[in-house]
Structure 1
């Protein structure tokens, strides 16, 4: 039993229902498009985002059964996440995702883009049927943020002047926005107070940032086999993440290699060596730990229960991915 499996034990049945429903929601009328995205639903995804939604739903409904709207929100969250992965892989020209060929490498860019668009459209339709304008606004913001994050990342390629704050903003748009806004939306469907709803948003924001920072560290500390995608992919493409930005503060020579976009023989290898010899990875771990700890402080308003413990444990799980 993996850490994620044991951690999600309180909502194991909920996640099984979610997986069954996702296949019905996406594949019922469009089997070809579903086939293009199916492996992302099956390829070892840990369902972290819907697990958060379901746990918050149960933690905020301690004496009642969660509603079909809570379950549908969890499904919508996973559909939006999957759509973003399909599009990200096209933009990044990634050939592998979770150890399997990406949608566009199997079906071509045209089908991949259409599959991502279809998943976004389906999620938007089901979102509208939740009959909660506030929740619609929150999740619609997420889809806008994905595009904003991709644009910011494209415009900042090989930009050695990128600040840590700008990096965190970009990380929010690309990763944390979905977790933050879906966490808040789950609370809203439960009828929590405005203060609790805002705390749930903050929990998701900080946890999402920790998750992204850890992902960026793993690009330097894990093998291609472990990552399920090529190692050093971000650096090679000029996407400068926390380990690089911190290393730049210590080793100005790294800027020269970045400025010429690793075009000379051995440039990429030299850059990796500089990053690994600096405190960039260590400082990035500290930043991820800070964000994870901040996330946990935002759960104080929830009743003490197994679902709150799961949400707290997720912060540890995110950091433990580094070891």
Structure 2
């Protein structure tokens, strides 16, 4: 079994340094903002995004530069800021098994904390003094907004296609991973082809990650998810397992049309999805994107860091075993 613990062993000290730096970087003057930010980082998380940045740095450079480390930290801050806003929009009470920022403080503080983290990440990004990286990462923040708007206006919309779902998943998840992978390569002064390969790696990895997350929303339990199963469905965020299940059965349509308003609707929907091939087809879709990620690395120089990047693809699939 591939786990996050053994995958990241080549950069365990680098990740410890990252954790130490994160709370220092968001050192807000106001104690409430600082407490909100500290609450987020103490909640943990697997740090997959910054870990990938550090591994690409090792794969493309003789050593990890200070700029690479800062990019890894910026990536995690942007990701965390997006989670704060996501939780407010979706009205989630818990994240990673702990209370969300708006549950601990209030919605206003949560929105401001998210805005503050985005602002801090932008400031540190500008101080990298690399225009290409600034342009690449800045686009991610607009992608987040577009992804949230798209999701917001398509709640409970069963007419969406799998292609629409993939496009939304790119904006919400894969964009940041793709851009940070490309940026890590840019900071190593690699050629355009290598930069593009790492972008494709991040894009496909991010899409696979989101699809697996959506499968776990159906088959996971609250202890591992850190939130109740079916939370995405309840919020109207229709995902790959449901779209594939809708192609097989009409039983789900009335549940979605009434927006899962009855107390037992979510559990009934999960039961129906499990009886179809929806989950298997979603797994197959995730596997396709994992293969896309691995293909993007085919022509890159083999190293321990590159092998670790490939292992991450399998780790993502192993999350549902």
TM-score (norm 1): 0.96
Q: Distance in 2 between matches of 1:269 and 1:24?
A: 43
Q: Indicate the residue corresponding to 1:294 in structure 2.
A: 292
**In 2, distance between residues paired with 1:25 and 1:44?**
16
Say whether residues 1:14 and 2:14 are aligned partners. Answer: yes
Q: Partners of 2:166 and 2:216 in 1: how far apart?
A: 17
User: Could you tell me whether the CA contact under 8 Å between 2:230 and 2:266 is conserved in 1?
Assistant: no
Alpha-carbon distance, 1:260 to partner = 1.9
Residue 103 of structure 1: aligned partner: 101
C-alpha separation in 1, matches of 2:268 and 2:319: 26
Residue-pair matches, total: 321
1:9-55, Cα deviation, whole Å (9 max, x unpaired): 11111111111111111126444312112232122311000000000
Checking the alignment, whether the CA contact within 8 Å between 1:37 and 1:86 is kept in structure 2 is no
Displacement after TM superposition at 1:276 (Å): 1.1
1:48-197 matches, within 5 Å, as 48-61=48-61, 64-197=62-195
- Alignment match, 2:34: 34
Q: Contact conserved, 2:40 with 2:80, CA < 8 A, in 1?
A: yes
Q: How many angstroms does 1:225 deviate by?
A: 1.2
Which of the numbers 227, 239, 242 marks the counterpart of 1:241? 239
Q: CA deviation at 1:258?
A: 1.1
Question: Conserved in 2, the CA contact under 8 Å of 1:164 and 1:242?
Answer: yes
Q: CA deviation at 1:183?
A: 0.2
Which residues in structure 2 correspond to 1:261-272 (within 5 Å)?
261-264=259-262, 266-272=264-270
Structure 1: gaps spanning 5 or more residues: none
> Which structure 2 segments of 5+ residues have no match?
none
Partner Cα separation in structure 1 for residue 168 and residue 311 of structure 2 = 26
Superposition TM-score, scaled by structure 2 size: 0.97
- The alpha carbon displacement at 1:264 in A equals 4.2
- Whole-Å separation in 2 of the counterparts to 1:115 and 1:51: 24
